[in-house]
Chains A and B, each alone.
Chain A
Amino acid sequence: MKAEAQITAALPRSTAARWIGPARLAVESIAVLGAAIPIYLLIKQAITPDLESFAWPPHWLPRNVTSANLKSVFELAELRSALILSVAVAAVAGLIATALGTMLGYAMARRERMRQAGMAGVTAARLLPMIAVALPLTVVLIQVGLYDSPTGMGLALIHAALAIPTAALTTYGVFAAIAREQEEAAFLDGASPLRIFVAIAVPQAKTAIAASLVLSFIMSWDEFGFALLIQVTHRTMPPLLYYYTVFGDVGPASALALVMLVPALAVIIALRPVLKSGLIAGTQR
């Protein structure tokens, strides 16, 4: 009787189990294809002449392969300087955001009032329409002489400001998990507050700090709105990509997009363990 009940209970489960594998495969295939097809088209457009990109009916496989588009990214002065500027802006923005965000995250982890203020600030910053602050910010940049700067430092400051909440939230959880007794022990051992932060807290948050550096780098790397508004003549890559697309230069635009994709893909692969750990879950709402 008992065994019978077990068998009947087990039956539907085994039927379900038989379908779970294929169902999962199907769902995953659709998801992967959805992401992969645009990237494939991008690659195809980047390595074929413009004419082929506009062919009708569209070719699924490249017929004439050319390296001209990719070469142009590194050879055309306009493209090359955009690439260099984007790297510079993203690097500076990433470093500033990570340095300040890490300190904010630590303060939030250790002071209840800072935590409340920090959380409120992050939420408020997200609710604020960006376009509302864009114009005043532009005015400020003009006043301090960083508007459309050839080094892109005005844009870097704005990107850093945008990325600070992410950096703070990414590191906050890790700092909060460090036992307070460790810091008290360090205090009794004779360490100053700065020393405690540098020698005890930061080393244990290394992974989170690296993650926030990468995240803020990427945030700046593909930021479009402020880049379009502020770097009017000295352009970074996203606005340039936009202009190329608008003017119908699909080949160079695709090649540029491909170059932009490289750090993002590298980051996703490098950060896989961090992403899996859920460390930065909740920082991107």
Chain B
Amino acid sequence: MAELEIRDLGRQFKSGGGVRGVSLSVEAGELFVLVGPSGCGKSTLLRLIAGLDYPERGEIRVGGRNCGDRRDLIAMVFQNHALYPHMSAFDNIAFPLRLRRTPKAEIQRRVADAAALAALQIDLARRPAELSGGERQRVALARALIREPRVILMDEPLSSLDAQLRGRLRVELKDFQRRTGRTIIYVTHDQLEALTLGDRIAVMRAGAIEQIGTPTEVYQRPANLFVATFIGQPPMNILRCRIRPAKASAAPPEQSVPAEPALEIGEKLALAMPFGMSGEVLLGIRPEDLTYNPNPDAVAFEAGFNRVEFVGGGFLAYATVAGQEITALLDQPVEPGRTRWLYAPRRSLHFFDSATHRRAG
């Protein structure tokens, strides 16, 4: 039985945002990431799960129960930490227990436990204003842990921290979750964070879930064009392709001037395609899958280079293939203005239906 089960959840705002018919289930001990661009409804979904907002339809079950007040089962860590500034770190962490009239000795013990669990090594008499961003984050985590909730919700908890600290805390959080086996639902707009952190991720857009899967599944087999271009940085290249009729030479008048530039698909590429596609298709290639190396299994593209940027681990080249802009992450620089062949392994190619934008095959 799933720890958290959401069925056909709907909540519309007058402004247009909200969630539309979201269903998902999260297993116990899983770190489940909701990722999507701003305004995709991921925070709304989290607030609905928390009980800070109410759905118009659908249901939310925690541990199999469908209860109106889920506050005892759920804790939340907010983006700005939402610590109480007039209380010490200790009082912040102890606040949920004080509300429940827990005996003093037990409060002492459990605050110490929660602080240790959140790797909080500070003088707990200090106030939030006297703490660093990372320390505040840990206090917020300790406050969430102290109630021993079944599910912890996190709303972009690391986004207010600097990049270096964010990376470190991400690793720590993952370790913490593995160690303690907590169920965590984590909201972020950062696709890299979603990939590195999540056991499974749900990619959202416009109030609906586009794909749910493990990070590798979502990265390697994006379900549609949106997921393909949202996950991965630099984003996946999308090339419009036209499949040449089977007997191209027999029908020369068909070769009228195309309205839009499109890549004519050669035999080799056609072989890589899922069976049964015809007409116009969208071909997705990740910039990191393009190389100079002619591999026997690779498909070749003739690329005119416009611009090259050094990005540390390699060179990010901006090129034109069949009149369309692409980027390629290459190990060696290339002179702008030159034309060279780029190769991509056949199995690294993604095909999408040009009308539905769904993955083909």
Q: Which residues of A contact B (CB under 8 A)?
A: 179, 181-182, 184-191, 195, 199-200, 203-204
The answer to whether B147 touches A189, judged by C-beta atoms less than 8 angstroms apart, is yes
In the complex, which of the residues B52, B75, B82 has the most CB atoms of chain A within 10 Å of its own CB atom? B82
Other-chain residue from A182, A190, A191 in contact with B82 (beta carbon distance below 8 A): A182
Chain B, interface residues (CB within 8 Å), range: 20 to 34
Interface of B is mostly: loop
Q: Which residues of B contact A (CB under 8 A)?
A: 50-52, 71-72, 74-76, 78-80, 82-86, 95-96, 99-100, 143, 147
Residues of B within 8 A of A187 (CB): 52, 71
Q: What are the 4 tightest A-B residue pairs by CB atom distance, in nearest-first order?
A: A181-B82, A189-B96, A185-B82, A203-B86
The answer to whether B95 touches A186, judged by C-beta atoms less than 8 angstroms apart, is yes
Q: How far is the CA of A187 from the CA of B70 in the complex (A)?
A: 11
Q: How far is the CA of A199 from the CA of B99 in the complex (A)?
A: 10
The answer to whether A181 touches B78, judged by C-beta atoms less than 8 angstroms apart, is yes
Q: How far is the CA of A182 from the CA of B128 in the complex (A)?
A: 13
Q: Which residue of B lies closest to A189 (CB)?
A: B96
- Taking the nearest CB of chain A, how far is it from the CB of B51, in angstroms? 7
Q: How far is the CA of A187 from the CA of B95 in the complex (A)?
A: 11
Q: Which residue of A lies closest to B78 (CB)?
A: A181
Q: How far is the CA of A182 from the CA of B72 in the complex (A)?
A: 18
The answer to whether A200 touches B99, judged by C-beta atoms less than 8 angstroms apart, is no
A-B contact count (CB 8 A): 51
Residues of A within 8 A of B82 (CB): 179, 181-182, 184-185
Residues of B within 8 A of A195 (CB): 99
Q: Return 25 A-B CB contacts under 8 Å, by A number.
A: A181-B80, A181-B82, A182-B83, A182-B85, A185-B76, A186-B84, A186-B95, A187-B52, A187-B71, A188-B52, A188-B74, A188-B75, A189-B71, A189-B95, A189-B96, A189-B99, A189-B143, A189-B147, A190-B72, A190-B147, A191-B95, A199-B95, A200-B84, A203-B86, A204-B85
Q: Which residue of B lies closest to A200 (CB)?
A: B84
Q: How far is the CA of A184 from the CA of B95 in the complex (A)?
A: 13
In the complex, which of the residues A179, A190, A191, A200 has the most CB atoms of chain B within 10 Å of its own CB atom? A190
Residues of A within 8 A of B78 (CB): 181, 184-185
In the complex, which of the residues B80, B83, B99 has the most CB atoms of chain A within 10 Å of its own CB atom? B99
Q: Which residue of A lies closest to B70 (CB)?
A: A188
Q: Which residue of B lies closest to A181 (CB)?
A: B82
Q: Which residue of A lies closest to B96 (CB)?
A: A189
Residues of A within 8 A of B86 (CB): 203-204
- Taking the nearest CB of chain B, how far is it from the CB of A186, in angstroms? 7
Q: How far is the CA of A112 from the CA of B50 in the complex (A)?
A: 23
Residues of B within 8 A of A200 (CB): 84
Q: How far is the CA of A179 from the CA of B75 in the complex (A)?
A: 18
- Taking the nearest CB of chain A, how far is it from the CB of B297, in angstroms? 52
The answer to whether A184 touches B52, judged by C-beta atoms less than 8 angstroms apart, is yes
Q: Which residue of B lies closest to A192 (CB)?
A: B99
- Taking the nearest CB of chain B, how far is it from the CB of A187, in angstroms? 7
Q: Which residue of A lies closest to B51 (CB)?
A: A188
Q: Which residue of A lies closest to B87 (CB)?
A: A203
Q: Which residue of A lies closest to B47 (CB)?
A: A184
Q: Which residue of B lies closest to A184 (CB)?
A: B52
Residues of A within 8 A of B80 (CB): 179, 181
Q: How far is the CA of A187 from the CA of B71 in the complex (A)?
A: 8
Residues of B within 8 A of A190 (CB): 71-72, 96, 99-100, 147
The answer to whether A188 touches B76, judged by C-beta atoms less than 8 angstroms apart, is yes
Residues of A within 8 A of B74 (CB): 188
Q: How far is the CA of A281 from the CA of B233 in the complex (A)?
A: 50
- Taking the nearest CB of chain A, how far is it from the CB of B138, in angstroms? 15
Residues of A within 8 A of B52 (CB): 184, 187-188
- Taking the nearest CB of chain A, how far is it from the CB of B227, in angstroms? 30
Residues of B within 8 A of A184 (CB): 50, 52, 76, 78, 82
Q: How far is the CA of A187 from the CA of B80 in the complex (A)?
A: 16
